[in-house]
A = this chain, B = another copy of it.
Amino acid sequence: MSEIKKIVLIGAGNLATHLAIALKHAGKEIMQIYSRSIDSAKILANLVQTDYCTDLSKITDKADLYIIAVKDDVLTEIVRALVIKNKLIVHTSGSVTMNVLGQCSTNFGVFYPLLTFSKDHDLNFSKIPLCIEANTNYNLELLKHLALSLTDKVFFINSEQRKILHLAAVFASNFPNFMYSIAETLVKDNNMDFDLLKPLIMETAEKVQTVKPLQAQTGPATRGDHKIMEMHLDLLEKYPEYKNLYLIISNEILRKKNE
């Protein structure tokens, strides 16, 4: 079986940057960077010492793999305009089906790293689950081999599952983070430091690494402690939206408990 060695990155944003660095570090050759923005293309090409282009028609046909790492709306545009015949092409989106790439090539798949990326946040790729999917077993093996050069957390996830996973990630990450921001507002408004809550936030996340979330569930709603819940609702009088959230989430915890 052949191996993926030469890679073209289509995109120069956060994910593309992290991927380019990690792939180069894993010994792969980044042949070319494409970005609509010449500045972004230049910066990333410079970072991984390669060429760049801003015109889809200038993309080389000599690579083993083409990775489209762009926002979903840009992905649709690129897919419409890009033809690379039979070369393996993947996208990195959590919510776009694999088959859209059938327009670009006869060999395609998905290479979806399940993590929130931010440029400044230092990222250890070896800890990130990589979800892969491909249109043939052969392509899947190629992608698996590549994924394993970056992390040992490689999962075969089909397009339907990936959509659910993307949704689950909202509940696992975006919504908890929003809860943190409400907690911050509450302590700040009462002259306390958010630092007070940081160990608790860490402990809560750490606990579910080994214990099932429902088993780890604590708090007044879990205990059915209506007296405390009433007190909390009174304290939230000034924050009608948070009071509403408190009520709805607590009721849902109570319901789940009584299931």
Contacts and interface: CB of A to CB of B under 8 A. Distances in A.
A242 B167 CA distance: 11
A223 to B, nearest CB: 9
A16 to B, nearest CB: 17
Interface stretch (A39-47, A62-70, A244-252): A244-252
Interface of A: 72, 95, 114-116, 118, 121, 127-129, 131, 153, 155, 157, 160-161, 163-184, 186-187, 189-209, 212-214, 216-222, 225, 227-228, 231-232, 235-236, 241-242, 244-246, 248-249, 252-253, 255-256
Given A95-B228, A177-B216, 10 more contacts: A72-B227, A157-B192, A160-B190, A164-B190, A170-B246, A174-B222, A176-B180, A178-B249, A184-B212, A241-B252
Given A180-B171, A231-B163, A205 B201 contact: yes
Contacts of A232: 166-167, 170
Per CB-CB distance, the 4 closest pairs between chain A and chain B, nearest first, are A174-B219, A176-B176, A205-B205, A181-B213
A205 B208 contact: no
5 contacts: A72-B227, A160-B190, A168-B183, A169-B197, A172-B204
Contacts of A219: 170, 173-175
Contacts of A180: 171-172, 176, 208, 213
B178 A213 contact: yes
Nearest to A235: B167
A72 B182 CA distance: 25
A244 B212 CA distance: 23
Most chain B C-beta atoms within 10 Å of own C-beta, residue among A128, A164, A172: A172
A150 B97 CA distance: 53
B244 A192 contact: no
B171 A179 contact: yes
A186 B157 contact: no
Given A173-B219, A218-B173, A253 B178 contact: yes
